[in-house]
Chains A and B, each alone.
Chain A
Amino acid sequence: MNAVANRYDFVLFFDVADGNPNGDPDAGNLPRMDPETSQGLVSDVALKRKIRNYVAMVKEGEPGHGIYMTERTVLNQTHAKAYEAVGLTPVAKKLPKEQDGRRITEWMCANYFDIRAFGAVMTTEVNAGQVRGPIQLAFARSAEAIMPLEISITRSSVTNKKDLEKERTMGRKHIVPYSLYRVHGFVNAKLAEKTGFSEDDLELLWRALENMFEFDRSAARGEMAARKLFLFRHESALGSAQAHRLFERISVARRIEDETVAIGDKRLHNLQPARAFRDYVIEADREGLPAGVELVERF
């Protein structure tokens, strides 16, 4: 399988309605926020978890698509089926340690999608046991400030016998009424070469980004959906333009009735907060893209 040979820089937009996209363990599970701007945040690892879960689900039992970092819901037995008989010969005992380590790493890359995509640290004694994956994600950040709501809920049953005389127990949920998040990501072709991350894997990654929220429904999340994915595909492995300049071409603005209002416009203070995806306009500036860069709108 050929490794990915092009550099990609991508922008993903996803939104949440009446849910908590990523709780902050430091703040009693409130949605993560940037304390200075009140923009909502979603950590890189939260999104990687969803990508792993999606791949584990659609590629269940397929060779080469094991997921090393599993949640309990992923059954261990399914991994047994992922066993790939090809190329598995017992390692000769006389190999020097470093080469040995490299073999283990290669084998792990060949069998586990998440190691091939995101990398992994496999022990420190062996020098080659550290893999940097080609996929790099940054923090997701909301387009505008979020205003989380605390919703108190009641449960009409109790957990402990001693609470039996109480009629109800109370709980709390934190939700973001609506927010559109933007996240930047990178595919490093040179690292893809090293882990064997293939074109098929890349296609699977794009599909995971599109569909990961569809299978991550829960009481806490509310309605989350991937809305837009823009790929900047570079002709070469090293790329042809600065990523930050490319990302600046993708802009978000508010739509108020038929008018488009830039984010940060003072008028927005007096206007209705956004409550749906249609309250935003996402625009891509395709004029004069640098040579060797192609802008693909995946969805």
Chain B
Amino acid sequence: MSFQLHIWGDHACFTRPEMKVERVSYDVITPSAARGIFEAIHWKPAIRWVIDRIHVLKPIRFETIRRNEVGSKISARTAQSAMNAGDLTGLHLVVDENRQQRATLALRDVSYLIEAHFEMTAEAGGDTPAKHSEMFRRRATTGQCFHRPCLGVREFPAWFELVKTPPPSTLLESDRDLGWMLYDIDYANRRAPLFFRARMEGGVIDLVRVRGEGLRA
């Protein structure tokens, strides 16, 4: 069952893994981020979303934003010992002693049409594709979502609408070699990243063909 979802937003950051300290976004949405948006609307262990085509509908433009961020994560060990001791003293993080200023090179004013379908997984049990298809359709039409989908990071919310015909495109340069891009993370295989050669032809990145050509680890 195939769906066409129009998604758009003010800003987006699909972070390149090689430039993630001072985040630099890919030129376009990655298949993995697109999958995340579908999953935010409807997902069950019974299904797996597969992205078929990404239509880029607006010119690719960037903007830089620098913010104060923290440099460390919560340590499980400290939390564990505070938990055992039953005492919160010392279990906190002083942000202005742990400060890192990081820039984000984000995309601005993005709009995509995502074509995707889902496959049933081994955990499907008695579920039918029609059931999930209807659930997704209903939610996407009325604007329901499990959680608010985002464009790469949570501060950039994604708006979505199920469409029948692609919205008009204002893309100026519709053919572009986008280089190697992240396809998705292979969770079954120790979270190994998979990459593909992204080519935008007539404003469209054809992932069906990409899968046919084979992905690279």
* Interface residues of A, Cβ cutoff 8 Å to B: 24-26, 32, 34-36, 41, 43-45, 66-72, 74, 76-77, 79-80, 82-83, 85, 88, 90-91, 100-101, 103-104, 107-108, 111, 120-126, 129, 132, 136-139, 141, 184, 186, 188, 190-191, 236, 238-245, 290
Tell me if B94 is interfacial: C-beta within 8 Å of chain A. yes
Query: Which residues in A have their C-beta under 8 angstroms from that of B87?
Result: 80, 83
Q: How far is the CA of A139 from the CA of B10 in the complex (A)?
A: 9
Task: Please indicate the chain B residues that have their CB under 8 angstroms from the CB of A126 in the complex.
Answer: 76
- Which residues of A sit under 8 angstroms from B103, Cβ to Cβ? 26
A69 pairs with B70, CB closer than 8 A: yes
Are the CB atoms of B86 and A83 closer together than 8 Å?
A: yes
Contact across chains for A243 and B90 when beta carbons are under 8 A apart: no
Q: How far is the CA of A216 from the CA of B115 in the complex (A)?
A: 46
Contact assessment for B76 and A67 in the assembled complex, using a CB-CB cutoff below 8 Å: no
Cβ contacts under 8 Å, B171 to chain A: none
B190 at the interface (CB under 8 A from A): no
Question: Which A residues lie within 8 Å of B74 (CB)?
Answer: 68, 108, 120-123, 129
Q: How far apart are B94's CB and chain A's nearest CB, in angstroms?
A: 6
A36 in contact with B88 given A70-B94, A123-B74 (CB within 8 Å): no
Q: Which of A104, A190, A240 has the most CB of B within 10 A?
A: A104
A91/B80 in contact, CB under 8 A: yes
Distance A297 CA – B7 CA, assembled complex (angstroms): 29
Q: Which residues of A contact B69 (CB under 8 A)?
A: 45
CB neighbours of A101 from chain B (8 A): 76
Complexed CA–CA distance, A71 and B93 (Å):
8
With A25-B66, A45-B67, A243-B159 in contact, is A71–B89 under 8 Å at CB? no
A72:B94 contact, CB within 8 angstroms: yes
Q: How far is the CB of A78 from chain B (nearest CB, A)?
A: 9
A226 CB to closest chain B CB, in angstroms? 20
Bound complex: CA of A36 vs CA of B181, how far in Å? 28
**Which B65-122 residues have C-beta < 8 A from chain A?**
65-70, 73-76, 79-80, 83-84, 86-97, 101, 103, 108
Q: Is B143 an interface residue (CB 8 A)?
A: yes
B138-168: which have CB < 8 Å to A?
Answer: 139, 142-148, 150, 154-157, 159-161
Question: Which among B90, B91, B146, B157 is the interface contact of A136 at CB below 8 angstroms?
Answer: B157
Q: Which listed residue (B76, B155, B161) contacts A104, Cβ 8 A? A: B76
- In the complex, the answer to whether A80 meets B84 with C-beta atoms within 8 Å is no
Give the shortest distance, in Å, between B43 (CB) and chain A (any CB): 11
Q: Are A239 and B144 also in contact (CB < 8 A) when A85-B86, A91-B80 are?
A: yes
Indicate if the CB atoms of B157 and A184 lie closer than 8 Å. yes
